[in-house]
Chains A and B, each alone.
Chain A
Amino acid sequence: MKSFFRSNSFKVMLIVILVLSCIFILSSTTGSKTLNNFLDGILSPMAQVGVTVLGDDDISAMSKSELEEKYEALLEENKLLREQVVEYYQLEQEFSQYIDVLELTEKYIDWELEAATVISRNTSDPYLSFTIDKGIVDGISVNDAVITDLGLVGIVTEVFTYSSNVTTILSEDINIGAKSEEYQEYGVVQTYEETVVDGTLKLSYLTKETDIVKNTVITTTGSGGIFPEGLLIGKVTSLSEEEKDVSWYAVIETYVDIAGVNEVFIITDFPEKEWQSITTSEDITVDEDLTEDELESSEDLESSENVTDTADEDEGGEEQ
């Protein structure tokens, strides 16, 4: 063992570790991404090729039995799609009735979307962050919302030249101002202990008298300027009482299967977009000794569009 410590290899190792540590500390303190961008330039195109190759079904290479199987599967899918078309027309009719009630406008047309493919998944992140194949050159910037046709997925937290890192809504770093359009109740969607286990989230700060029931649709409020208003987050699966205070929370199952998402859209711009940093958990503090009366009085939240901002103001008020 002593010979190892005297060897040249050990000295080289020490020097390399020292240099690497210096780079690491320098990058951490200055926020420099030179090395990341360098690796991004090499590895992103390779990952894109991998994803493209995987995405194509080579029919000519299939055996007869495989083709038969595929044919059967397509028939089944066709049947399902026809049923969905019928359902779609029914829903369209329903929607046209609701549109007048909710005064929904054609605001979504103003969104600027960029389609992207997931090229890499973080294997060891409990909150399922991933990398997409669009970066600075495609007009992506930090805090852009990431969605699919089913609903909200997350936000862009790091942008490189040809790729970007996406933090999902399952992460503790993201709290979302959310509401039930149906019952006009507001809360904050955030992580809880079951998120890591089954991918569900919770809608916090509901009162005991909440009208929210199972299958209630939860959407974004648009507060904070990160997410546009009305983005689908998920549906309520159950309601429970908080252990630490008298408020209630709803467990939400996200519409998007975040672990399996492969194609996403990035909202690069929308009319209400404001360049604000993401609301962190530190931004929201709720008094743990909040009484039920105080909670009821917090129905002001319902009239306020910005739940997270309200929490900020409360915090500020307490400080004063």
Chain B
Amino acid sequence: MSFVKVNLNSFARYTVYIIELVVFFMIQQIPDLMPLVFGVKPILIFVFAITLALLENEAVTLIFSLFAGVLMDYSLGITIGGTAVALMIVCCVINAIVRRKISITIFSSVTVIIIGCGIMCWYLWYFYFVFRGYSYTYEALLNTYIPVWFYTSLVSPLIYILNIGILHGLEVKN
């Protein structure tokens, strides 16, 4: 019976993650659903993926960062794959470092999430703005990408706490 419970808990947790990912994606994409700060909205699915990298094992990190990246590519209206690969690499590196080098506290976790989101925002700016040959790169960085990073960082503790709650609520106890 305990085997069934273990699998049920895992299944429930991954289902909740999938729902969470879709909900976050909808919240960040649907107009007027979230207040704008400096005229921008946060990228919630980046925080979601990086949070899972902090809390879950490599396989879960891999799969959900891949899904989150694919959704991000779709929302940007670009060829699927670019952001997915970048987010996967960032998440897997974070997962590897955190599981082996850093002790997880709220402070260290939020710091890692903020750094991870910063890397992804820089990636978006560099590869989808600068690389496309647009002219006003620094104006775009200052007025769009840095505010996006700031707003994303602001909401990251909430998503982290939510995922901690889900993990504890549906944890597999050995």
In the complex, chain B residues 77-121 whose Cβ is within 8 Å of any chain A Cβ = 77, 79-82, 84-85, 88-89, 92, 96-97, 99-101, 121
**In the complex the two chains form, is A28's CB within 8 Å of B144's CB?**
no
Interface size class of B (residues with CB under 8 A): 35 or more
Binds B, one of A17-25, A91-99, A135-143, A285-293: A17-25
| A7 contacts B143, C-beta separation under 8 Å | no
* Dominant SS among interface residues on chain A: helix
**Do A46 and B136 touch across chains, with their CB atoms under 8 A apart?**
no
- Whether the Cβ atoms of A16 and B143 lie closer than 8 Å is no
Interface residue tally on A, bucketed by range:
35 or more
- Residue of B29, B82, B129, B134 near A123 (CB, 8 A) is B29
| A 189-230 to B, binary, CB cutoff 8 A, 1 in contact else 0 | 001111111000000000000000000000000000000000
Which A residues lie within 8 Å of B57 (CB)? 9
Residues of B near A20 (CB, < 8 A) are 66, 81, 84-85, 88
A131 and B30 CA atoms in complex are apart in Å by 10
Report the minimal beta-carbon distance from A256 to chain B, rounded to whole angstroms. 14
When the two chains form their complex, are residues B148 and A124 in contact, meaning their CB atoms are under 8 A apart? yes
Task: State which residues 104-147 of A face B: CB under 8 Å.
Answer: 118-126, 129-131
The answer to whether B77 touches A47, judged by C-beta atoms less than 8 angstroms apart, is no
Inter-chain CA distance A118–B29, complex, in Å, is 10
Chain A residues 3 to 61 lying within 8 A of chain B, measured CB to CB, are 3-4, 7, 9-10, 12-13, 16-17, 20-21, 23-24, 27-28, 35-36, 39-40, 43, 46-47, 50-51, 54
| Pair B30/A54 contact, Cβ less than 8 Å | yes
Closest residue to A19 on the B side, CB-wise? B81
Q: Could you tell me the distance between the alpha carbons of A23 and B82 in the complex, rounded to whole angstroms?
A: 10
Q: Is A36 a contact of B74 with CB atoms below 8 Å?
A: yes
Flag B55-74 by CB within 8 Å of A: 1 or 0 each. Answer: 00111001000100011001
| Residue A238 interfacial (CB < 8 Å) | no
Residues of B contacting A157 with CB < 8 Å?
Answer: 77
- Does B8 lie at the interface of the complex (its beta carbon under 8 Å from any beta carbon of A)? no
| Interchain CA distance A165-B77 in the complex, whole Å | 7
Check B62–A119 contact: CB distance below 8 A: no
One digit per residue, 1 when the CB lies within 8 angstroms of any chain A CB and 0 when it does not, for chain B 1-41 equals 00000000000000000000010011011111100000111
Within 121-155 of B, Cβ neighbours of A (below 8 Å) are at 121, 124, 128-129, 134-136, 139-140, 143-145, 148
| Chain A residues positioned under 8 Å from B76 (CB to CB) | 122, 124-125
Q: Is B52 an interface residue (CB 8 A)?
A: no
CA–CA, A191 to B84, complex, Å? Answer: 30
Residue A80, interface by CB 8 Å? no
| Cβ-based interface call for A262 (8 A) | yes
Evaluate whether A124 and B121 lie within 8 angstroms (CB atoms) in the complex, with A24-B80, A39-B80, A129-B77 already known. Answer: yes
* B135 surroundings in chain A (CB, below 8 A): 172, 191, 193
Contact B77 A259 (CB under 8 A): no
Cα separation A1 to B143 with both chains bound (whole Å): 38
Contacts of A7 in B (CB 8 A): 58
User: Which of A27, A36, A121, A195: most chain B Cβ within 10 A?
Assistant: A121
User: Chain B nearest CB: distance from A3 CB in Å?
Assistant: 8
Q: How far is the CB of A1 from chain B (nearest CB, A)?
A: 6
Instruction: Contact check, B145 vs A124: say whether CB atoms are below 8 A apart.
Output: yes
B43 within 8 A of partner (CB): yes
Inter-chain CA distance A3–B95, complex, in Å, is: 13
A123 contacts which chain B residues (CB < 8 A)? 28-29, 40-43, 75, 148
Q: Which chain A residues have a beta carbon within 8 Å of chain B's beta carbons? A: 1, 3-4, 7, 9-10, 12-13, 16-17, 20-21, 23-24, 27-28, 35-36, 39-40, 43, 46-47, 50-51, 54, 118-126, 129-131, 157-158, 165, 172, 191-197, 259, 262
Enumerate the 6 nearest inter-chain pairs by beta-carbon distance, A residue then B residue, closest first: A24-B81, A9-B58, A126-B144, A120-B29, A126-B140, A165-B77
15 sampled A-B residue pairs with Cβ under 8 A: A9-B59, A9-B62, A20-B85, A36-B79, A121-B29, A123-B40, A123-B75, A124-B124, A126-B139, A126-B140, A130-B31, A131-B29, A195-B136, A196-B140, A197-B139
